[in-house]
Structure 1
Amino acid sequence: MSWLQDLPIRRKLTFVILATCAAVLLAACAAVAIYEVFDFRRALARDATVLADILGRNTRGALAFQDENAARETLMALQSEPHVTAAALYDQAGNRFADYERTGAHVLFPSHGEGDGYRFTRGYLDVFHAVFLNGKRIGILYLQMDLDGIYARLGLLAGIASLVLLGALLIALLLSTWLQRPISQPILALAETAQSITKRKDYSVRAARQGKNEIGRLTDAFNEMVAGIQERESTLHATNAVLQAEIAERKEAENKVQAQLARLAQLHHITRATGERQDLKSIFQVVIRSLEDHLPVDFGCICLYDQAGHSLTVTSVGIRSEPLATSLALTERSPIPIDQNGLSRCVRGQLVYEPDITDVAFPFPQRLVRGGLHSLVAAPLLVESKVFGVLIAARREPNSFSSGECEFLKQLSEHVALAAHQAQLYGALQQAYDDLRQTQQAVMQQERLRALGQMASGIAHDINNAISPVTLYTESLLETEPGLSTRARDYLTTIQHAMDDVAQTVSRMREFYRQREPQLSLVPVDLNRLALQVVNLTRVRWSDMPLQNGAVIQLRTEFAENLPPILGVESELREAFTNLIFNAVDAMPQGGVLTLRTFKTAGTPHQTAIEVTDTGAGMDDDTRRRCLEPFFTTKGERGTGLGLAMVYGTVQRHGAEIEIDSAPGRGTTMRLLFPIPVISADTGTGILISAPVPTRLRLLIADDDPLIIKSLRDTLESDGHEVIAVGGGQAAIDTFREARQNGRPFALVITDLGMPYVDGRKVASAIKAESPSTPVVMLTGWGERMTADGDIPPHVDRVLSKPPKLRELRTAFADLTANPPSTGMSAGT
């Protein structure tokens, strides 16, 4: 029934009235039709029974006499009855005796007769009627009639009913059209009012009340509802206006918060990126690129402030800004003078924002204007309230920087300044750390050298004591025994040279730790001449010996002309250069190129340099760092690890520097850098001239080694001196005092340093206390170390090293006796 609900109310009312009328009329017609059917059937059954009774009476005689023709003729009289379709006469036995069938009918006769009665079956009326004769049943009459009559009557009734129904409906339609208006009109007016309110949203409209019935009450309720809606609508409009204002404010605040969060995220990203970098250029580049990508800006750069020159220097330009920077001459390292404009305020620590620089009549803003830029922000980079740089951001559109973006640039400049300051501090700290590490390595190296030097000094002392008698006796025999055979003199000369070599070897044991000895005389040395001497002296090593193994080493010399001389000990330098050449040759077992080069450095201060370069295997970083350590060698059993250590000691004693350039597979360059001295005209040669030997001296010798005592006594007595020797320090003091008391004082005292109970220092002190003018010579195996360390006892006038040389003893005697010490405290030499 949804279609009925969707109909307009007028049609709906008309439909209801018509449907009601139709239903009532149809019900009445149906009742009449049903009544007519039942009445017709009853009348038909009655007429059929009467007809059957008449036929039964007429066929009794034929049935009684078994006259089939007479019975059939009687039945044929039924042709006058149009509704009789068939008839049959059954005898007493139930057999069909005679029958009648209407032309064109197809009848199925019952097989036998039945009792009195009738029945309606399949559109037909079947009648069975008993035939009696003299009260005795002699047969059955069967009569079949169709119902066409009842159907014709029903059709007639249906036509009459249809005409009546149509007329009634037409009358009902006319009446409903007129009668439904009082109901539909108020409802339609109310609906139209509601529709108008819905369309126009005008809740001030009211529906007109029509009557006091239900529709009138409905209209009143509708008007009250509309009034309530109007009131709520007004309230809702007011509330909505307030909400819209709040929403607008919240959206604006949200946009600001989102923008602020985005800027904070960008600031965090930039801060984290700059924190991962430790150099100014990469920090500035990260900042400018981030501004170009995310703020964004059309031009960005960072300048460093030169307070002395009162100018800015472009340090970093963004990648996207480079074409514009090139056209504006604002590439890296370009200067920007500061005039009385925004930049001058910026370098004083103020954030400068120029919304439109078109009319700013200063060089820098006008330069940006020529590049199509019209809005400028300059943020100072402050560290400890001092400006060291400026962050510049510009856009093409005027008034394009918001207050939030200006604040962001200000905060960003603070972070950039802090990151830059940290990078500078990191660089300074790294430099300080590198300096400290180098100093630490130098100290550790020096301590190792000192420890090894002390060990070497003890060994040298023992060796010097052991060879002292051999040296003295050999020198004495060569000088005092003219009758020696040539063979004996050759043997003694060989022994003397061997002892000199031993002494030189012992001396080299401390070359890698000792400082330059004060008494060594530095003379001008020509590095070119010295290098050429070393090349000739080592020719066998770099030329002949490799050729025996099929290796060829090519020597190249590159000596600078007019090379300034240096001050040094030529023998030590010669030995150092020799060691460098030997190491270079050892690094090229298959041959190669050996290069010696001298030159004057171009830096300040000027230095004279010599380089020894090989094309050997080279060294890795660890080997290069440790190659100067004593006993460190890469030659296996062939090396001692002392060659470069001695070179290092020589370099230190000459105030020079050593540089090592090496890499695996690229060879090694050893570079010695010597300071260029100011050589005065009176620079001496350092040669000591011996004084005449006194004719006879009374000498006191104190030593705990009997061999030293005997060898000294023998050689000095052969020189004509009177020698008194004692075996300890206390004995020497007592002997000296006793000699003075007896009026036979000693002209000079020779004492060892290390003696039991009373050492040489105490002996010298006691001698000077008794006789300050008596010279004291300390003869010790630690002589060179004491001189190198400046550890000369205060009461000793001369320190000589073991093994002693006769010429050194004679020179010392001549000097000390010709210029005896003053009567005050004597200073050691």
Structure 2
Amino acid sequence: MKQKSSSIQKKLVRLILSICGSVLLLTCAAFFVYEYLSYRQITKRELETLGQITATNVTSSLAFLSKDDATELLKALHSQKNIIAACVYDKEGKIFAAYPNETMDFPPIVREDYHFREGYLEGFQPVVQEGTRLGTLYLRSDLKAVYNRFALYGLIGLVIVGVLFLFAFVLSRRLQGTIVNPILQLAGKAKIVSDKRDYSVRAKKKNDDELGVLTDAFNHMLTQIEEQNAEIVALNANLEQKIEQRTAQLQEANLALHEQNNFIQTIIDSSIDLIAVFDKELRFLVLNKKADKLYQRPREELLGKNVLQLFPQLKNSPFMVNLQRAFEGEFIHEHAYKSLVSSNYFENFFIPLTDENNVVDRVLVIGHDITSIMQANEKLKQVNAELEKSNHDLEQFAYVASHDLQEPLRKIKTFSELSERNTQHPEILKRYLSKIGSSATRMTDLIKAVLNYSRLSRTESEPVAVDLNNVIRQVITDLELYIEEKKALIRTEPLPVVKGIPLQLNQLFLNLFTNALKFSEKQPVITIQHSVTPRNAFVQDSLQKDENTFLKICFADNGIGFDQEYAEKVFSIFQRLHPIDKYAGTGIGLALCKKIVENHGGCIDVESKTGEGTTFFIYLPYDAGLQDAAAKSTKETNKAS
């Protein structure tokens, strides 16, 4: 109680003293400013008068050039305590006489007036006799008198302010009782009501001012509270009985509702489909057991939480787009959706749920797992693709059988008939028999090539880790004589390990090296480089495996090359771009290369320009784990050796 009253008293005292102090400070400040400006002008006029008198006195000294007389006249300024320096300049502006001595720093004559500068008052007074200027008088005065006077004013002001503050403090203490006492009395009554809850207490009204109105309002409030308490006590008598009745009814309703919810949840959990209900804040309201398996989390961790907070990868996904459309009142049937939360495929139904005002406030999502169907469809697509490719190969083979394989047969038949007709001419017969042998050899090579190509389609060898560096070294060894004959220059960088069939990979690079050496009219230069590239960095239509990272091998030569328009044809079986009498071969080498690369789940492409060489781009699935295993194996081998 004392603490509160003391606080109010202090506030009133501070308020009164602040007002009085502000008024006094403003008054004193105005007085000081006025006095300061006035006294500066008075001091300036006094110095001007002294300058005029002194200038008159030194006129004769300047006229007769009596320096001693002028000095004596200036020494008379010693009686003026505020004069600290003076001098007389002659007509040329040179110092004629000085006080107290000539060693002081006297300024040049720049302006003939009196002015304040750097804490001093100084001025120049012309010395004139009968209209003729004989020289100039300079006076310098300090401002100690001004400062001393204002120090006295400040002391007097402080004393007056202190006395007035004391008077205001005493007066405020006496006057504040008329305001504070009624408030303290009212606060005391309020504390009694608060502590004892006694609403019969009333405050005594002393005056008819605003505090009297506040007292009446306080008493009226207590009267109303007292009446309301009486009514509440009367109502409480019957309220407990009603609460017990309502509680029993509520418990029965809750039990029935709980049983109904359990029944509905049992039905939902029995569904083989995923069932979820979302509110407008995209929070999970309902989930069934299927969701536990899909999300691999207990339902308790998901219910009531925002789906994007739990699964941020769904942002801007088709699932979220369809969910928002359903909240706009649209029924959505999504036939196939690849889940971003799991690896499953779903057929989704987004069903808007409305409240009593027919406003959509929830959305029911039913997801039917169609993963097995999608996998079967994907497998069917792969089988169809393989079947189409087999049919294409079969068509090519039929074309070969009807054209390429028949061509040497026709030659054999033709030259056999000619041989029968020329049995009497040994030289001609020998030439015809040689052509028959060449055609038979050509026929044998074509049949072997077709058999090799067909074996690639039905290989059952399991892929293993293959070091491509070993493959390249083996091919170079096999072609050592051919390479020396052509004086070929081979540049290859270290290649990684891939998963594949060693014999096929050996055949792949053997064919590429053979073509690079064969189709070259100058010293062959073969360059092999590699890089790791993502799937989307190149054409993927021919890829059979669902790989994300591939090894890109660039096999470049400086051979004769070909027009880029034939880039697709060179990989067809028995496709040749040059006559057989100029460049030997069966025309199946690059077809074998393409088949081998596709067997390994990759693809092959080519860029070429006539006369500038050819570059083959081979893409094979890349496994970083194989590189680590190979490096570890090499390290262990080096330790053992």
Higher helix share: 2
TM-score, length of structure 1 as denominator length: 0.29
TM-score, length of structure 2 as denominator length: 0.36
Task: Please identify the structure whose Cα radius of gyration is greater.
Answer: 1
